[in-house]
A = this chain, B = another copy of it.
Amino acid sequence: MDLKEYLETSAAQVDAALDGFLPSAKQRPAKIHEAMRYSLFAGGKRLRPVLALAAAEACGGEIELAMPAACAVELMHTYSLVHDDLPCMDDDDLRRGRPTCHKVFGEGMAVLTGDALLTEAFLILSETAPTARYPLSAFIAEFAITGGSTKLIGGQVLDLEGEGRELKKAELVRIHEAKTAALLTSSLRLGAMSANATPAKLDAVTDFGYHLGLAFQVIDDILDVTQTTEVLGKTAGKDEAVAKATYPAILGLDKARKEAARLTKKAMESLEPLGGKGSRLREIAAYLLDREY
């Protein structure tokens, strides 16, 4: 299977699983279930769950066993977007090419929709089958720490605090580690854990995720400058408009591109302990770097 086909097939499998896990849109109260599905089924690329599934395969596991974790990370990602888009946070009107949750359902409902997606994520994750090396508590702790006040949420706090002020590169890296790299890394780790990965393999996907996550965010920052709103599906040029610190703003476009390539290369090198089984993850890293051209 070539990469494009693999990505499409995996995303479709994730969509089907999410549809099965989530309460139906008819369940009462209907409005919250509509809003959850509106935010979740908006044509996302499902990068994080696909990474979870690919990491499971790379560690010799099966994608079915990684599916609850894969769905959980997508729910956590979506909840964080719904809350980050709120008027009291980044105030965005457009996401994945459609009006944001609060534009359609109102602010109060958007807060509750994010809350519900986050809560549902833990419910789904609790269906993970423990392995010899990893009890369920390891999955829940991994996921909760990643989503918590020192990582995903902490990164958004730093982001809010940094708006409109000049950041040094080290500060920017810290935000990206917390906001982006942490959840990408955790997606890979949870997938590997579902495959009962050895410590050496778990370390390998962890290093891969860290560098891939930073590369991903650098590329995202570049695309915000170089692409149109139509292509992005979210408001282009937003970072500059709110004087947000980004890689292109701090380093310039050219150096930012080089930084993305350097990080991607480091990510690929991290996969060595996986041998030939790491090739799909390497392909995904190369593909993400190529997004910008």
Residues of A within 8 A of B (CB): 23, 27-29, 31-33, 36, 79, 83, 86, 88-89, 106-109, 111-112, 114-116, 118-120, 122-123, 125-127, 135-137, 140-141, 143-145, 147-150, 153-154, 156-158, 160-161
Given contacts A118-B118, A126-B144, contact A158 B29 (CB under 8 A): yes
Set of chain B residues within 8 Å of A116, measured between Cβ atoms: 148-149, 153
Chain B residue, CB-CB nearest to A126: B140
Query: A27's contact among B32, B125, B150, by CB below 8 Å, is which?
Result: B150
Query: A86's contact among B36, B108, B149, B153, by CB below 8 Å, is which?
Result: B108
Query: A141's contact among B115, B126, B137, B147, by CB below 8 Å, is which?
Result: B126
Contact (Cβ within 8 A) B123 A148: yes
Complexed CA–CA distance, A157 and B118 (Å) = 16
Given contacts A126-B137, A136-B136, A137-B127, contact A144 B157 (CB under 8 A): no
Copies of this chain present in the complex amount to: 2
Set of chain B residues within 8 Å of A106, measured between Cβ atoms: 88
Contact (Cβ within 8 A) B29 A161: yes
Contact (Cβ within 8 A) A115 B160: no
Contact (Cβ within 8 A) B122 A122: yes
Set of chain B residues within 8 Å of A107, measured between Cβ atoms: 88
**13 A-B residue pairings within 8 Å (CB atoms):** A29-B150, A32-B149, A83-B112, A86-B108, A88-B106, A109-B157, A111-B111, A119-B153, A123-B140, A123-B144, A125-B140, A126-B144, A136-B140
Set of chain B residues within 8 Å of A36, measured between Cβ atoms: 149
Set of chain B residues within 8 Å of A89, measured between Cβ atoms: 108, 111
Could you tell me the distance in whole angstroms from the C-beta of A150 to the nearest C-beta in chain B? 6
Complexed CA–CA distance, A135 and B23 (Å) = 24
Set of chain B residues within 8 Å of A127, measured between Cβ atoms: 137
Could you tell me the distance in whole angstroms from the C-beta of A157 to the nearest C-beta in chain B? 4
Set of chain B residues within 8 Å of A83, measured between Cβ atoms: 111-112, 115
Contact (Cβ within 8 A) A108 B29: no
Complexed CA–CA distance, A109 and B127 (Å) = 32
- Which of A33, A118, A136, A153 lies at the interface centre, i.e. has the most chain B CB atoms within 10 A of its CB? A153
Contact (Cβ within 8 A) B150 A23: yes
Could you tell me the distance in whole angstroms from the C-beta of A84 to the nearest C-beta in chain B? 9
Contact (Cβ within 8 A) A111 B126: no
Query: A88's contact among B32, B111, B147, by CB below 8 Å, is which?
Result: B111
Chain B residue, CB-CB nearest to A23: B149
Set of chain B residues within 8 Å of A125, measured between Cβ atoms: 140
Contact (Cβ within 8 A) A154 B111: no
Given contacts A106-B88, A136-B137, A154-B32, contact A145 B161 (CB under 8 A): no
Set of chain B residues within 8 Å of A153, measured between Cβ atoms: 32, 112, 115-116, 119
Set of chain B residues within 8 Å of A111, measured between Cβ atoms: 83, 86, 88-89, 111
Contact (Cβ within 8 A) B112 A157: yes
